[in-house]
Amino acid sequence: MAFTVAIDGPAAAGKGTISRAVAARFGFAHLDTGLLYRATGARVADGLAPLVAAQSLSPADLERGDLRTPEAGQAASRVAAMPDVRAALVTFQRSFAARHGGAVLDGRDIGTVICPDADVKLFVTASDAVRAHRRWTELADPALTLDAVLEDLRARDRRDSERAAAPLRPADDAVVIDTSEMDIDAAVEAATALVSAARAG
């Protein structure tokens, strides 16, 4: 039977780590929907038109080694603001969410647009300073300053929150988890407790 967990939030708030942990805990499939946009953006950088890039995505495209770079994140944010690209990727995401055995999807608009009827909706967030430090530490690039990473995150936040198509925001019925002062174990426990309660329902 299908059971869908929608986890949204800005970059470096911890939603990916929480999503993978929740999926592993309950044996659900997991989809990082940001990879769809990162892969589309990377293919655009390779010379494809945005809509063609989105419509012809293959599983191999999601395995590219360059999808976790800051450049890929910015490219993803740009193509995610294009309504036709978003529409092209909606069907894939909704089909994944409806799979038998349960699914966890994380992204920017899962609870608001992709899966508005999800069984559990979480919005994972953290302060700008905390998110920037996490991303800077994760990237471990001596050429990158913390200030540059902070500005990059804020630029993405502005673009994601202000776009006309599916802006980044919590669903009205989402539970907000602020990880600014939580370690990852505490954040995962908070999320899994909410999923457990919904399943016991």
Q: What is the CATH number of the domain that holds 41?
A: 3.40.50.300
Distance CA(37)–CA(42), nearest Å, equals 8
pTM of the model: 0.88
Distance CA(83)–CA(92), nearest Å, equals 15
Q: Which domain covers residue 153, as residue numbers?
A: 4-200
According to the model, what pLDDT value does residue 164 have?
85
Residue located via tokens 């299908």: 2
According to the model, what pLDDT value does residue 165 have?
83
Tell me the DSSP string of 56-104: T--GGGGG-TTTTSHHHHHHHHHHHT-HHHHHHHHHHHHHHHT-TT-EE
According to the model, what pLDDT value does residue 93 have?
94
Which two three-digit tokens encode residue 35?
Answer: 């990879």
Domain count, the chain: 1
First to last CA, the chain: 15
17 annotated among ligand-binding-site residues:
yes
11 annotated among ligand-binding-site residues:
yes
Tell me, what amino acid is at 4?
A: T
16 annotated among ligand-binding-site residues:
yes
125 annotated among ligand-binding-site residues:
no
Residues of the chain with pLDDT under 50: none
87 annotated among ligand-binding-site residues:
no
Distance CA(181)–CA(76), nearest Å, equals 28
